[in-house]
Structure 1
Amino acid sequence: MGISERLGQLLQGNRQSAEDERLLQLYWNRAELKKELVRLQNERYELIEELKKQEAAVLRAGERMEELQQHLGDPDAATHALVYFQLRALWKACAARLARFAEHLQNQQQDRERRRQLIEFDQTRRRQLADFDRRVGEARNEAQKLEGQMKEMEARLASMRGFWNYFRRRRLADELEVVRNQWDTAATRVTDVSDDRAAIEDQQPSEFPGMSIDGKRIVNTAVIAYAQQMVSQLSTGGLALLAKEATAKAVFEMRYGSREDCVRLMALLREAHSIAGRESEDLAGLKEHTDSLRAKASYRSDADTTPLTDSIGTLSPPTSPVSGLESINRAGINVLVDDYWDLYEVLLK
């Protein structure tokens, strides 16, 4: 076979190899395109389903709005609706106030525990530094004492002349070598202890690990006491109970007695909203109530931060509810059981 024929076969083989490579690349590109197409189809399907849900939600919202407009258009029902929405607004105002109170207490307790950690760290470091100072002083005294002995022995050794002092010089030289080794050890100890002291002095406090279980219990019991206090403040006319009921039922279900009862409730609600805005004036007596609650609170385990519901007691229901109310909880109010003012959302876990 000639050179030209071999060269032709080689070129043909190279072209075939390049063609195979292109075909393989096209195959992989086709597979990747199919995977991308499937992903886009799934994404499109999910978006269509989400759009359907949103359209259904908008449709339901429109229907509810139409129903609410018709409800408010009824003169008899409109008064009850006004009371209902004012009660819900009162609930939100109290829940927001409780959340702010809980956040304030949490920040205070965290700062208090962080300061305590820093104080304990500083006290521990001071004790350790004092101990190292004592050890450095002892090591330095020992080194100075040995250094004095070395100088004295060196002076004695230099003063011993004559062949008759040969054995005495040799014995003293051996003793000097022993003292010199002891001095080296003592000097090394001074350096080591000084380095350890410097490390303690440069040590930084560890990162704050977070609030302790006891700290969380302190905050939670104070928040529960505050929630109970707000219930007591809003017990006139059963406002706390009615506000809770308004969060669980639709406006179309609620009736608040006669028109006069509704007018009386709205007057009480104006006063209640005023009370809800006086946060700084609501702390009188809270500490005593919190201490009492903390003394009787019990927990399911040592790791729990929320008291058992039975241990916090119940508040008496309103004694003079507005006449004609259809539902009043006469068994008493437990702010944990009934989750008053969205209490569980602000309690520390």
Structure 2
Amino acid sequence: MREWLSQLPVIGRLFTVPVPEERQIEPPSNPQLNAERARSRQLSEELEQLREKATRLDEQVRELEARGAANESKIQALEEMLADPDRAQNAIVYYQLREIWFACHRELVNLVKELSRHMEQEERQQMLARYRQEQEREATELERSLEDLAAEQEEIEQRRRKLQEELSRSQRIWHYFKRKRLTETLAGIADELKPVDAQMSDLRNRIREVQGREPPTFIGLSVEGRRQVNLAAIALAQYLYLRFRKDSIADMARSARRKPVHEAYFGPTDECLKIMRQIREVEGRWRSDRERPEKVRRRARYLAGMVKYKEAKQTAPDMKSMDHLQPSISAEGSEVVGDSTPLPVNVLEWDLWDLREAMLGAPPAAVEEKLDADQ
């Protein structure tokens, strides 16, 4: 009957029996099961990491196998080349030219290292000198302020001593009101001295803090310093090209740097022997040139007035500003009138002697931030 009445419209709602919602029963906590689940998740993550590592190792193995196959091919080609007397001489010339290339590269690297060390010492000393000057200036200003306060304090002290002397002379009974006035004035002077004493104490503390302050740490060579080092490297690269330009030794060395040995051909045996003699002669003249440092410095000074930079923080000059190489530079660092015309040789664009690898790049972010702060 109740179920039949609950189905009637409107009235049926009065006879509807509310059904309680089913409560979600939480399972009891199981520490051992939770630990096993956490361990399972950890093992899954470690397994995924091991799979990624195995994939990387497989890629490295394939890369090494490809390199090994390429090296085997090169060795086989070199063996075939050495087996032929004419081609064997070409291989000897090839490796001698490559040694010229890498010897010049070592010269560039050594120059950059040595010059960078000197430039860093110079900039470190300049930074320390500027810091000491600023420290001395700040301490001098504080001491001047302290002297002004000391003079003001002495003036107040003189006024107090005069009032105290006048008070000591005013001890008669009829001086009562005068003593009262003098006492009040002396109390005001004492209050006037308190802030002066506090300021003097603060200035003394600041002077001690300034004088005991440690200089900042040198964080690296500046953009200008890096530019000077790189210009010296470019000047040396140009100098080396001019030294090995005779008999096209520099051009042949560049060709040997860019192609494998089995593709090298410099001519028959007699021609190869001739090239080897030329290499020894040019290398001997290069290594015995006592004026090389001065010639490189002179060329670097000349380049400093010629090259351009696209950006303020760029350490390598714009390649377009180096399209030509001046064969001879005067002692003042300018072009010599009457010498041969400039050569269409851009050592930076050609990356001669692996020049770009030896040059200094942009300074670290900390140096750039300091430069921005100084500007």
Describe the shift of the 1:194–1:38 C-alpha distance in structure 2 as closer, same or farther (beyond 3 A).
closer
* Contact in 1 for aligned 2:237/2:352 (Cα 8 Å): yes
TM-aligned CA deviation for residue 199 of structure 1: 1.2
CA distance in 1, matches of 2:32, 2:131: 70
Aligned to 1:65: 75
Residue among 355, 358, 361 paired with 1:343: 355
* Contact in 2 for aligned 1:110/1:211 (Cα 8 Å): yes
1:264 aligns with 2:278: no
* Contact in 1 for aligned 2:77/2:262 (Cα 8 Å): no
Q: Which runs of 5+ in 1 are unaligned?
A: 1-15, 318-329
* Contact in 2 for aligned 1:93/1:276 (Cα 8 Å): no
1:286 aligns with 2:296: yes
Aligned to 2:146: 136
Following superposition of structure 1 onto structure 2, how do residues 1-349 of structure 1 map, counting pairs within 5 Å? 20-274=30-284, 277=287, 282-315=292-325, 332-349=344-361
Amino acid at match of 2:159: Q
Amino acid at match of 2:170: M
**Number of residue pairs the alignment of both structures matches:** 321
CA distance in 1, matches of 2:249, 2:129: 47
| TM-score using structure 2 length | 0.78
TM-aligned CA deviation for residue 253 of structure 1: 1.8
Describe the shift of the 1:187–1:211 C-alpha distance in structure 2 as closer, same or farther (beyond 3 A).
same
CA distance in 2, matches of 1:316, 1:213: 26
Describe the shift of the 1:29–1:200 C-alpha distance in structure 2 as closer, same or farther (beyond 3 A).
closer
1:274-308 CA-partner distances (Å, limit 9, x unpaired): 45655865213222221111111111122222112
* Contact in 2 for aligned 1:316/1:333 (Cα 8 Å): no
TM-aligned CA deviation for residue 237 of structure 1: 0.9
Describe the shift of the 1:279–1:47 C-alpha distance in structure 2 as closer, same or farther (beyond 3 A).
farther
Describe the shift of the 1:155–1:203 C-alpha distance in structure 2 as closer, same or farther (beyond 3 A).
same
> Could you say what secondary structure the match of 2:66 adopts?
helix
335-344 vs 212-221, greater mean Cα deviation: 212-221
* Contact in 2 for aligned 1:97/1:279 (Cα 8 Å): no
* Contact in 2 for aligned 1:297/1:307 (Cα 8 Å): yes
1:236-257 CA-partner distances (Å, limit 9, x unpaired): 1111111111111122222112
* Contact in 1 for aligned 2:139/2:211 (Cα 8 Å): yes
Describe the shift of the 1:22–1:217 C-alpha distance in structure 2 as closer, same or farther (beyond 3 A).
closer
Amino acid at match of 1:335: V
Amino acid at match of 1:57: R
Amino acid at match of 1:173: T
23-32 vs 91-100, greater mean Cα deviation: 23-32
1:57-96 CA-partner distances (Å, limit 9, x unpaired): 2233122211211111111111111111111111011001
CA distance in 1, matches of 2:38, 2:184: 86
